[in-house]
């Protein structure tokens, strides 16, 4: 829809012509994910994860709707109905393991998708809205996953609900009434379980709605690409179908192999044994941890161990608990302003030597460490390590990115995607007009977007 050379949908039969007049749904699909959507020809495998995330959303909705047919959200029977699914429902074990591991795989592909965005600066103009909607989807996913984990009503479910709603008690004045309101009681019980079930059922459809906005916003400027150079000419693109449908089909096969290997051979490897113990309000498990995909944020939460006091007076300005909660939410909210923190005119990390060093030797090890530390016992030296890595996390986004985007000297950019793929000689006649970033290597400004229409 965005490029002049995009192929037009042409209904062939009388029926499709009639349908195109009355409800041009095939046209919409054709333009969105069909031959009518021109996509940069140089996308690498990191660009598979958007489609894969959509696939896992569908897997979760289908398996979830099916599981809801057998589940009952009542503290007395919830755990038993899950066991009923595992033992007596036809293929119930398969459906439940697919749903539980599907959540993990949804997060795996989403993290790949997000970190693709970090490296290739997919958040930059003109794609800020796509990025903002993406962060909203991620937040909705976290809420959905948390509430879903409560539903089996095992020990981790129960204490997870207790601890996560307990985060809100950090808010001054209204915190404790807020937790009671969230739970509908003084501890997690039927009221909490029922509302979590209701919302866990609802939110995936909200996510699906935001996903549609996300894709809509994507189709305004079109997809980004590994060079970060905008599409300039027809030879820079290929139609989404069949080129990327075929590539995504292959990518889907690969991820499904990994997914089924987990579902059929290691279905509980990403879970926690304590959740096979029925919820017991009188006994807390030895190690309370969320699901693995929350570990980095959980590590940030636990990193703040000391109250912010005025030294030598004992006056507490902000208690440690509130600091941790602010930092945890802030660690994701900071993604919202990312497009305006990183003002480098170059998008792709391939052409940003300094940025690339901080990405591979700063952000990636930090995330890996926080993933590990979030699941570790709250004892030294893990606490100190999570404090160090938490500090780097915030420094990276809030301090390092703004500064390096000022001082960095980027590497020369290719003139166009075609040139990047085929080399200078093979590049067909390109309309070298009206673009501030001419072929001159080294000017390194790619802020100009080719007109979309």
Q: Given candidates 44, 198, 305, 445, which one binds another protein under the rule CB under 8 A?
A: 305
Which value, in Å, is the radius of gyration of the alpha carbons in the chain?
25
What is the footprint of another protein within residues 274-303 (CB under 8 A)? 274, 276-278, 286, 303
Q: How far is the CB of 311 from another protein (least distance, A)?
A: 9
Told to judge if 241 belongs to the known catalytic residues of this protein, a careful annotator would answer no
**Contact region with another protein (CB under 8 A), list: 11-19, 23-31, 102-110, 338-346:** 338-346
**Contact region with another protein (CB under 8 A), list: 110-118, 125-133, 257-265, 363-371:** 257-265
> SS3 letters for 82-125?
HHHHHHCCCCHHHHHHHHHHHHHHHHHHHHHHHHHHHHCCCCCC
Residues 6+ positions from 57 with CB-CB distance below 8 Å: 106, 204, 207, 208, 211
Q: Which is nearer to another protein, 206 or 395 (CB)?
A: 395
Q: Which is nearer to another protein, 184 or 362 (CB)?
A: 362
Q: Which is nearer to another protein, 402 or 439 (CB)?
A: 402
178 binds another protein (CB under 8 A): no
Told to judge if 248 belongs to the known catalytic residues of this protein, a careful annotator would answer yes
Quote the DSSP letter at residue 75: T
* Cβ–Cβ < 8 Å for 142, 294: yes
Give Cα 386 to chain centroid, integer Å.
22
Q: Given candidates 7, 219, 321, 411, which one binds another protein under the rule CB under 8 A?
A: 7
81 binds another protein (CB under 8 A): no
Q: Which of 7, 84, 247, 321 is catalytic?
A: 247
Q: How far apart are CA 343 and CA 359, in angstroms?
A: 16
Report the run of H or E that residue 411 belongs to, with start and end.
Answer: none
Phi-psi region of 319 (alpha: psi -120 to 50; beta: other; left: phi over 0): beta
Q: Given candidates 174, 426, 441, 448, which one binds another protein under the rule CB under 8 A?
A: 426
Q: Which is nearer to another protein, 23 or 260 (CB)?
A: 260
Q: How far is the CB of 322 from another protein (least distance, A)?
A: 11
Say how many C-beta atoms besides its own lie within 10 A of residue 254's C-beta. 12
Q: How far apart are CA 88 and CA 130, in angstroms?
A: 44
**Contact region with another protein (CB under 8 A), list: 160-168, 210-218, 261-269, 429-437:** 261-269
Q: Residue 43: which of 280, 316, 237 has the closest Cα?
A: 237
Q: How far apart are CA 206 and CA 59, in angstroms?
A: 15
Q: Residue 218: which of 49, 42, 1 has the closest Cα?
A: 1
**Contact region with another protein (CB under 8 A), list: 6-14, 26-34, 110-118, 407-415:** 6-14
Q: Given candidates 242, 281, 431, 438, which one binds another protein under the rule CB under 8 A?
A: 242
156 binds another protein (CB under 8 A): no
Size of the site for another protein (CB under 8 A): 90
- If DSSP codes are grouped into helix, strand and coil, which group holds residue 40? strand
320 binds another protein (CB under 8 A): yes
Told to judge if 219 belongs to the known catalytic residues of this protein, a careful annotator would answer yes
Told to judge if 21 belongs to the known catalytic residues of this protein, a careful annotator would answer no
Q: Given candidates 6, 108, 114, 322, which one binds another protein under the rule CB under 8 A?
A: 6
Q: How far is the CB of 402 from another protein (least distance, A)?
A: 4
Q: Which is nearer to another protein, 183 or 323 (CB)?
A: 323
Token output for 80: 């038993």
* Cβ–Cβ < 8 Å for 161, 291: no
Q: How far apart are CA 151 and CA 200, in angstroms?
A: 9
212 binds another protein (CB under 8 A): no
Q: Which is nearer to another protein, 105 or 179 (CB)?
A: 105
**Binding track, positions 355-394, relative to another protein; x by CB under 8 A:** ------------------------xxx-xx--xx-xx--x
321 binds another protein (CB under 8 A): no
- Scanning the structure block, which residue is given the tokens 């302003």? 337
Q: Which of 121, 122, 157, 223 is catalytic?
A: 223
Q: Which of 219, 234, 321, 411 is catalytic?
A: 219
CA dist 433 → 120, 270, 412, 439, 444 (Å): 26, 54, 19, 11, 17
Told to judge if 230 belongs to the known catalytic residues of this protein, a careful annotator would answer no
Residues annotated as catalytic are 219, 223, 247-248, 291
């Amino acid at each position: 829809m965005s490029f002049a050379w995009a192929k037009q949908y042409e209904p062939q039969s009388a029926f499709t012509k009639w349908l195109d007049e009355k409800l041009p749904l095939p046209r919409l699909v054709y333009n969105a994910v069909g031959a009518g959507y021109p996509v940069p020809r140089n996308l690498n495998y990191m660009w598979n994860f958007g489609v894969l995330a959509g696939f896992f959303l569908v897997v979760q909705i289908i398996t979830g709707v099916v599981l809801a047919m057998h589940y009952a959200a009542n503290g007395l029977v919830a755990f038993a109905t899950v066991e009923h699914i595992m033992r007596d429902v036809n293929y119930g074990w398969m459906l439940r393991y697919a749903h539980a591991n599907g959540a993990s795989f949804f997060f795996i592909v989403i993290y790949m998708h997000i970190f693709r965005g970090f490296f290739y600066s997919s958040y930059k103009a003109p794609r800020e809205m796509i990025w903002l909607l993406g962060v909203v989807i991620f937040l909705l996913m976290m809420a959905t996953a948390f509430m879903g984990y409560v539903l089996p009503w095992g020990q981790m479910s129960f204490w997870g609900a207790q601890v996560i709603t307990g985060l809100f008690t950090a808010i001054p004045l209204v915190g404790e009434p807020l937790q009671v309101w969230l739970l509908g009681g003084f501890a997690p019980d039927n009221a909490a379980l029922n509302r979590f079930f209701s919302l866990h059922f609802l939110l995936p459809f909200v996510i699906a709605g935001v996903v549609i906005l996300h894709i809509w916003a994507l189709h305004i400027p079109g997809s980004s690409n590994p060079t970060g150079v905008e599409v300039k000419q027809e030879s820079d693109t290929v139609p989404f179908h069949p080129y990327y449908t075929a590539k995504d089909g292959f990518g889907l096969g690969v991820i499904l192999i990994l997914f089924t290997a987990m579902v059929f051979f290691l279905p509980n490897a990403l879970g926690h044994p304590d959740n096979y113990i029925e919820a017991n309000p009188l006994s807390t498990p030895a190690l309370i941890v969320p699901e693995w995909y929350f570990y980095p944020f959980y590590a940030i939460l636990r990193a703040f161990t000391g109250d912010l006091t005025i030294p030598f007076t004992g006056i507490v300005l902000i208690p440690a608990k509130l600091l941790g909660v602010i930092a945890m939410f802030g660690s994701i909210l900071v993604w919202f302003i990312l497009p305006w923190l990183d003002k480098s005119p170059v998008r792709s990390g391939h052409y940003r030597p300094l940025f690339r060093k901080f990405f591979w030797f700063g952000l990636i090890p930090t995330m890996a460490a926080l993933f590990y530390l979030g699941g570790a016992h709250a004892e030294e030296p893990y606490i100190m390590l999570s404090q160090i890595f938490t500090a780097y996390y915030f420094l990276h986004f809030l301090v390092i990115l703004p500064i390096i985007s000022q001082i960095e000297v980027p590497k020369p950019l290719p003139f166009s995607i075609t040139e990047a793929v085929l080399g200078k000689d093979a590049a067909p006649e390109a309309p070298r007009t009206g673009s501030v970033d001419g072929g001159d290597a080294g000017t390194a400004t790619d802020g100009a977007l080719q007109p979309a229409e």
